[in-house]
Chains A and B, each alone.
Chain A
């Protein structure tokens, strides 16, 4: 049975990128929900949820940024190995 190591590096890179993108999408959905919940609670007069919502949103943005850096690195590695062949 073929393992992931048998696949060409470009395919493996694509799998990693798709995985990272899916994770970013999930985080983004959570962030959208967080923003709408924070806005809803702000408009109904509750001002205590704004700080935790902003902190969580910031953490999720940083994770997204890290994943983007990962995607960028994998991409250039795969491109490098492609050009080296």
Chain B
């Protein structure tokens, strides 16, 4: 039974053989794992901090965009309750314009603020609806009425100039 009590080489003679052969202690192993996890958590915390710094830098160097003035429709071109689609300020930014009254027009970006699906106008409900996850927006100000979007739709500011409706700015 000598093999059970003592290491044949190297280890202290008083130590049993199993201690020499299985030298990694479970408790020690747990220590290392926890310390590594703590290190990982602290690095994640650093990542969050860097993310906040990035947002800070972006907001410090934020330049107010200059929007072009672009005629988008003729006055009276669409009937009350009618819709016209156009692109503003670039040809990749699709927008929707709705005639809500005799002299009232509203226009919003067509890109849903949740995951960018195209919103459409529901005349029956008088609201803008996103078909992807049932996000609904108010026709009055683009505010979220229901669904996963957390931000309102950006509004396109329109101005009547003579017989034309001109898009002058994007708000929000």
Contact = CB atoms under 8 A, between A and B. Distances in A.
Q: Are both chains from one complex?
A: yes
Interface residues of B, number: 29
B55 interface: yes
A79 B53 CA distance: 38
Contacts, number: 101
B59 A28 contact: no
A64 B42 contact: yes
Contacts of A57: 48-49, 51-52
B55 A38 contact: yes
Interface stretch (B4-12, B33-41, B77-85, B99-107): B33-41
Contact of B31 (A27, A44, A60, A75): A75
Interface residues of A, number: 41
7 contacts: A14-B30, A18-B34, A31-B48, A34-B52, A53-B55, A54-B49, A58-B49
Question: Which are the 9 A-B pairs with shortest beta-carbon distances?
Answer: A47-B59, A31-B48, A57-B52, A50-B59, A61-B49, A54-B52, A64-B45, A54-B56, A50-B56
